[in-house]
Amino acid sequence: ATSAVDGMEASRSSSLLPAALLMLLGLLLSRRACSSPPPDSVACARGTSDCTLANVYGSFPDRTACRAADAAFPRTEAELVVAVAAAAAAKRKVKAAPRHSHSFPKLACPGGRDGTIISTARLNRTVSIDAAQGLMTVEGGMVLRDLIRDAAAAGLALPHSPYWYGVSIGGLLATGAQGSSLWGKGSAVHEYVVGMRIVAPAPASQGFAVVRELGADHPDLDAAKVSLGVLGVVSQVRSDRVAESPMCMHACTVKSLTS
Ligand SMILES: Cc1cc2nc3c(=O)[nH]c(=O)nc-3n(C[C@H](O)[C@H](O)[C@H](O)COP(=O)(O)OP(=O)(O)OC[C@H]3O[C@@H](n4cnc5c(N)ncnc54)[C@H](O)[C@@H]3O)c2cc1C
């Protein structure tokens, strides 16, 4: 009888061993697990020349790199105008690229090796908030996470949002990105945009670049909202109906809206 009990004990210990090892491994891994945002999408080999654009997945569908002759990193709308004008004067193809380029296709790539990338990573401020009206104006390179944070600080939230908080306002408008519910005007963020400032190329007589201000009643506003980035660089976006409600990080619907 004693040897039978010893045998059962031994077999129980041996069956517990793999589970204990698995738990130990899990503990070790969980201590090391951490998350960090992807690196900036634009990197240059020499100063602001010989640059590459990478999306957050690390590869494009055609499996080739996106290269550009140079890149600009404006911090203000005035610097953005200078960057667009310089590229237009040099007759270079230009595309805007946000801090973390999230589109799988090469939408933000100017094409060829002679183009110019304008990074909007540093155009990332909130310009103004009118909490009573549920209105926010932000720069085009601001990422969704920062917009949600600044809105929350003013007691506001976006009624709908695309699924990843690293996308930029300029980029998500350009692609018509949306959340997942039908409510209010629908789940596409651009439905809530009531004004934009775009820096567009212009003839030499206008200094090669102009700032176009499109208000709620401007006939070009709808076209400019979802433009795949081909009409100019979105400098500022004014959005209304930012709801008064707790903040939500994923595609979501909130119930109480300010009008
Ligand atoms: C056609 C399409 C539809 C998508 N729809 C959804 C969706 O409904 N929901 C969702 O969650 N995700 C969607 N995605 C995936 C992803 O969320 C979007 O691609 C994302 O919103 C893009 O944001 P981004 O800041 O990473 O811009 P990028 O992917 O880097 O750029 C997208 C386009 O926007 C232009 N652009 C970027 N910033 C500016 C600016 N300031 N001014 C002018 N142009 C600019 C770029 O040049 C490029 O043409 C979609 C992707 C694509 C390609």
Confidence tier at 157 by pLDDT (50, 70, 90)? confident
Report whether pLDDT(1) > 60.
no
Q: Is the pLDDT assigned to residue 211 strictly greater than 60?
A: yes
Residues 51-73: what's their mean pLDDT? 95
Percent of the residues in the chain that have a pLDDT greater than 90, as a whole number: 57
Interval 101-126 mean pLDDT = 93
Query: Looking at the domain covering 42-119, what would its CATH class be?
Result: alpha beta
Question: From the CA of 176, how far away is ligand 1's center (Å)?
Answer: 7
Q: Residue range 24-42: average pLDDT? A: 74
Atom of ligand 1 nearest to the CA of 120: 41
Q: Which atom of ligand 1 is nearest to the CA of 99?
A: 25
Of 9-23, 32-46, 124-138, 173-187, minimum mean pLDDT range: 9-23
Contact 123, 218 (CB under 8 A): no
Local confidence band at 249 (pLDDT 50, 70, 90 cut-offs): very low
> Which pLDDT belongs to residue 25?
76
Q: Where are the domains of the chain?
A: 42-119, 126-239
More confident position, 87 or 160: 87
pLDDT given for residue 149 in this prediction: 93
Pairing of strands 116-119, 42-46: unpaired
CB-based contacts of 64, cutoff 8 Å, min separation 6: none
User: Can you tell me which atom of ligand 1 is nearest the CA of 198?
Assistant: 42
Q: Is the pLDDT of residue 63 over 60?
A: yes
Residue 14 has pLDDT above 80, yes or no: no
- What confidence score (pLDDT) does residue 241 get? 55
Among all chains, which residue has been given the structure tokens 């306002």? 169
State CA 11 to chain mean position distance: 55
> Is the beta carbon of 243 within 6 A of some atom in ligand 1?
no
Nearest CA to ligand 1 atom 8: 177
Comparing C-alpha atoms, which of 39, 240, 223 is closest to residue 128? 240
CATH of domain 126-239: 3.30.465.10
Q: Is the CB of 112 under 6 A from ligand 1?
A: no
- The average pLDDT across 68-93 equals 96
What is the per-residue pLDDT for 254? 31
The average pLDDT across 34-41 equals 78
Ligand 1 center to 58 CA (angstroms): 16
